[in-house]
Amino acid sequence: MAVLAESGSNPDVDLLYDINGLAKDAPHWFDRVMEFVGEYGLLLAMVLLVLWCWWGVRRRGGEEAAPSVAALVWAPLAAGLAVLVNVPIRGFVERPRPFRDHQGLDVLVSGKDDFSFVSDHATLTMALGVGLFVANRRLGLVGIGLALLEGFCRVYMGVHYPTDVVGGFALGTAVVLLLSPIATALLTPLMRAVERSPRVGWLVRRRTAADVPVLPGARRSAETGERDLAA
């Protein structure tokens, strides 16, 4: 078992008490809001942000639609992979939740009996944010900002040390960036194949009138009508 510092003089613990101490001074309703935001709200916001980016990419279309959608597909895949990588890390470190070793914390969420390092929420949100940044810089910066807010919320709620959050940020970023070239090489041809499909091509690029095939009989009828009008 790897041991992380647990002394009250450790800056990690001091910062934990400083941030979590804000919860003690905050109104009860604000703590409930932070509990929802930190547990579910920001994850939902990240998913909606990825969907928003996908909707914009498919509407614009063009040659870059398939690579952009491939990058967006990689974001949630990388987030899931990062959480799987975290499983053996947690088992190796075996760091208890901060409220088990330190008294006086205001814990906003109950039932957290697993290990603390690293934070799954921080890992997920940062992987989604960085993955989104690869596809769209502007929305990616928004996503990374939401991930940073998620990390703050986890410490505020008393369920993670600051280093748990930093570790999650590093893990999510590393999985996205290190495996991105391989993922892009595999997913881009797949998305191009999907784009060419008459049934599911709309997932990659919005259909236009030019994309709709014209039946030979319909084309001849149209040409005949044009000649009649010209006559």
The pair of three-digit structure tokens given for residue 16, joined into one six-digit string:
């934990």
Tens of pLDDT, residues 43-80: 999 999 999 998 888 787 677 788 889 999 999 999 99
DSSP 97: P
Q: Is 158:108 a contact under the CB 8 Å cutoff?
A: yes
Where does the pLDDT of residue 88 fall: very low under 50, low under 70, confident under 90, or very high at 90 and above? very high
pLDDT of residue 214: 46
52 vs 45: CA distance, rounded Å:
10
Tens of pLDDT, residues 123-179: 999 999 999 999 889 999 999 999 999 999 999 999 999 999 999 999 999 999 999
The pair of three-digit structure tokens given for residue 159, joined into one six-digit string:
């369920």
30 vs 37: CA distance, rounded Å:
10
73 vs 77: CA distance, rounded Å:
7
**Residue written as tokens 């940020």?**
169
The pair of three-digit structure tokens given for residue 89, joined into one six-digit string:
């890390």
